[in-house]
Amino acid sequence: MNSPRTRFYRDKLNGKLLGVCAGIADYTGVDVLWVRLGMVLFTMSTGFGIPLYIILAMVADKKPAALYSDRDEQKFWQGVRQSPGRTAREVRAQFRDIDRRLADIETFYVSSNPRLSAEIERLR
């Protein structure tokens, strides 16, 4: 099952020519300037840059307009593409932190409410 947010797209909105370099930058999370410079250096050193660019432009789909709702979501999905395992660990750590904070709130509320505490004890 491949999420549309983990696929490579051409980014015509932020692109200069066909949006391939902007798409690579969006996919990897690298600044588009460095991707363009890398493409120029790759083209000058090997000569395969222009044919590769054209092939990618023909093969890749255009980026959907509402792919990300905000900048944080874009950063999250770039992290998923770069390292899914690390992203899963970070999400689990965030859930553990939320669970700990909820337990602290529950402890505070139950300890300050003897009637609720007694009722919970009766249910056990």
CA 49 – CA 113 distance, rounded (Å): 69
- What tens digit of pLDDT does each residue of 12-66 get? 777 788 889 888 888 888 888 999 999 999 999 998 888 888 898 898 888 777 7
Which pair of structure tokens corresponds to residue 120?
């919970």
In this prediction, residue 7 has a pLDDT band, given cuts at 50, 70 and 90, of confident
Query: 83, 33 in Cβ contact below 8 A?
Result: no
In this prediction, residue 1 carries a pLDDT of 40
Mean pLDDT of the chain: 82
pTM of the full predicted structure? 0.57
Kindly tell me the sign of the dihedral angle through the C-alpha atoms of 87, 88, 93, 98.
Answer: positive
Where are the domains positioned within the chain?
1-73, 83-124
In this prediction, residue 115 carries a pLDDT of 80
